[in-house]
Structure 1
Amino acid sequence: MTFPVLQDKVAIVTGAAMGMGEATAKLFAEAGAKVVVADFNEEKGRETVQAIEAAGGTAFFVKVDISKGDQVKAMVEATVEKYGRLDVAVNNAALTPDNAPLHELDEEYWDRLMGVDLKGTALSLKYELIQLRKQGTGGSIINISSVSGFRPQPNNAAYVAAKHGVVGLTKVAALENGAENIRVNSVAPGAIDTPMLRGALEATGIDPEEFAPQLSLLNRFGQADEIAQASLWLASDQSSYVTGTTIHADAGYTSR
């Protein structure tokens, strides 16, 4: 049972068509929020909305490429037009990590990944913060980083750089907006069993079941809804004195 800690709050979740974003959108709706399911994948995004509505929740879909400022601006405007305000945002959308050593860097994919994972997070923050500051009633923003934002991984130069950047953006946004009662935090997931992780492991020929103990003190991959629970706490008033920090939901990976 999920308590209604977000009752009547309005929340945007980017990358909500699949994986951690989908789990977060569903959990937030269960917790009472009106959820904006934002994603570039329209088919899967609308399926997320349908699942939320079938469970008795409230949601609608916005198609967005977060690497485009005009689309991010339109996403926030559509949210306010539909629900009248914005209270919470989870900036989760990201591309699959790159898979080559730095001396073989793919410039085209570097630009694509940075455009979504880093620039897209910055643009999302920009327009979410504009709306929250305009309302003057505070709010909570959660950026999804990664253990790669704290410990480097081989063959993931673009992803590692982007996720380090997300942590930096989180701290700057928290510093600049604390006086407005706008809290900005991040969640750094470890190895979470999502289509993105499975695809990345398949591309490198790694057996997921053999690899899990190397990434987790609990000897298993995490589940998307376990990350959603961390975001839910940061979104709720239960974390009212928490800003500018990161929750490491990684089964102890960064502690060893």
Structure 2
Amino acid sequence: MSAANDRLNAIKGHLSGNFPNGLLAGEVAIITGSGQGIGKSCAEVFAREGAMVVVTDIDAAKSDQVAADINAAGGKAISVPGDVLSADFPERLVEETVKNFGKINHIVNNAGFTFDGMIHKITDKQWDLMLAVHNTAPFKIIRAAAKYLRKKDGENKCIINISSTSGLHGNLGQANYATAKAGVVGLTKTIAKEWGVFGVRANTVAFGWVDTRLTRAKESGAAIEVGGQKVALGIPTGNKAAGKVNAYADIPLGRAGTAEEVAGSVLMMCTPLSSYITGHTLEVTGGRGI
């Protein structure tokens, strides 16, 4: 029986509820920025669904710990820490994955952060850095994996690029981030058109307000160090009146999402249950923006 028929039968089995070993059993997933937050939750839920997970984060200690925890819980994971902006990292990440697990099925380009400023105050470095981490880095990782993904092998293969409602609708103080996240959509659609013939699906997941260090109060002191520069993360809450405003007023569900629950949307798009979805942008917003 051909590999394509094997995959079709597997999909039929999933649709009938026959997935005792998990929705991604035997598949390999690279998840960037998975040392914490949404990326970590994605790594954990992918592992619970049977995937062999490659955890990678700029913070080596966190990356190693997430992989260790997955293995301790009975899953399979390795840690390949590093900076997605380093010239040699994409190739190293891909080759370490294939060396350990023999193949690649899924890439989740989740690594990223914000570097906010009003348009008239954004520096060249702020602008360039957002495009580098959200556009160039994912592109280079995908390009490095091309020789393993561009095969007519019948495998379930999907690339997920993480975007944001800032990229879909723009956002005050985030011209650089919004531009980069809008670019993610174009990259994803192009991959879908070029690699569909190889059975590779490519989709974007655009998050709204999810409770992470990027959406908590900037005054809490969360930061990331990039190229020797400390970049503060979060949303400023210095305006005293802001405390009296319902921050979730325009979210029908009336709350922020959690990293654990939104990771399910990324998982969903990679499973055989989404086998005929490609080039799509899934908004995960609690209804915000409808």
DSSP-derived class of the 2:143 partner: helix
Q: What TM-score, normalized by structure 1, do the two folds share?
A: 0.92
Question: How many angstroms does 1:203 deviate by?
Answer: 3.5
Specify the structure having the higher radius of gyration (Cα).
2
Residue aligning to 1:238? 273
Listed as ranges, the gaps of 5+ residues in structure 1 are none
Deviates more, 1:211-220 or 1:178-187: 211-220
Aligned mate of 2:122, from 95, 101, 105:
105
> Structure 1 pair 129/53, CA: closer, same or farther in 2 (3 Å)?
same
Listed as ranges, the gaps of 5+ residues in structure 2 are 1-19, 219-232
Question: How many angstroms does 1:109 deviate by?
Answer: 2.1
Question: How many angstroms does 1:101 deviate by?
Answer: 0.9
Q: Which amino acid aligns with 2:123?
A: D
Q: Write the distance in 2 (CA, Å) between the matches of 1:122 and 1:254.
A: 28
Aligned mate of 1:15, from 29, 33, 58:
33
Q: Write the distance in 1 (CA, Å) between the matches of 2:244 and 2:44.
A: 27
Question: How many angstroms does 1:136 deviate by?
Answer: 3.9
Root-mean-square deviation (CA, aligned residues, Å) is 2.0
The answer to whether 1:64 aligns with 2:82 is yes
Q: Write the distance in 2 (CA, Å) between the matches of 1:46 and 1:98.
A: 26
More helix by share: 1
DSSP-derived class of the 2:289 partner: helix
> Structure 1 pair 78/154, CA: closer, same or farther in 2 (3 Å)?
same
Residue aligning to 1:150? 168
Count of residue pairs brought into register by the alignment: 253
> Structure 1 pair 143/251, CA: closer, same or farther in 2 (3 Å)?
same
Aligned-residue identity in percent = 36
Question: How many angstroms does 1:128 deviate by?
Answer: 2.6
Q: What TM-score, normalized by structure 2, do the two folds share?
A: 0.82
Q: Write the distance in 2 (CA, Å) between the matches of 1:51 and 1:17.
A: 11
1:83-113 superposed Cα distances (whole Å, 9 cap, x missing partner): 1111111110002x22211011122122222
Question: How do residues 106-145 of structure 1 correspond to structure 2 at under 5 angstroms?
Answer: 106-134=123-151, 136-138=153-155, 139-145=157-163
> Structure 1 pair 204/56, CA: closer, same or farther in 2 (3 Å)?
same
Residue aligning to 1:193? 211
Aligned mate of 2:247, from 188, 212, 216:
212
Q: Write the distance in 2 (CA, Å) between the matches of 1:89 and 1:124.
A: 9
Residue aligning to 1:78? 96
8 A contact 2:109–2:161 mirrored in 1: yes
> Structure 1 pair 186/172, CA: closer, same or farther in 2 (3 Å)?
same
8 A contact 1:192–1:224 mirrored in 2: yes
8 A contact 1:21–1:92 mirrored in 2: yes
Q: Write the distance in 1 (CA, Å) between the matches of 2:41 and 2:26.
A: 19
Question: How many angstroms does 1:66 deviate by?
Answer: 1.6
> Structure 1 pair 62/252, CA: closer, same or farther in 2 (3 Å)?
same
Question: How many angstroms does 1:41 deviate by?
Answer: 0.9
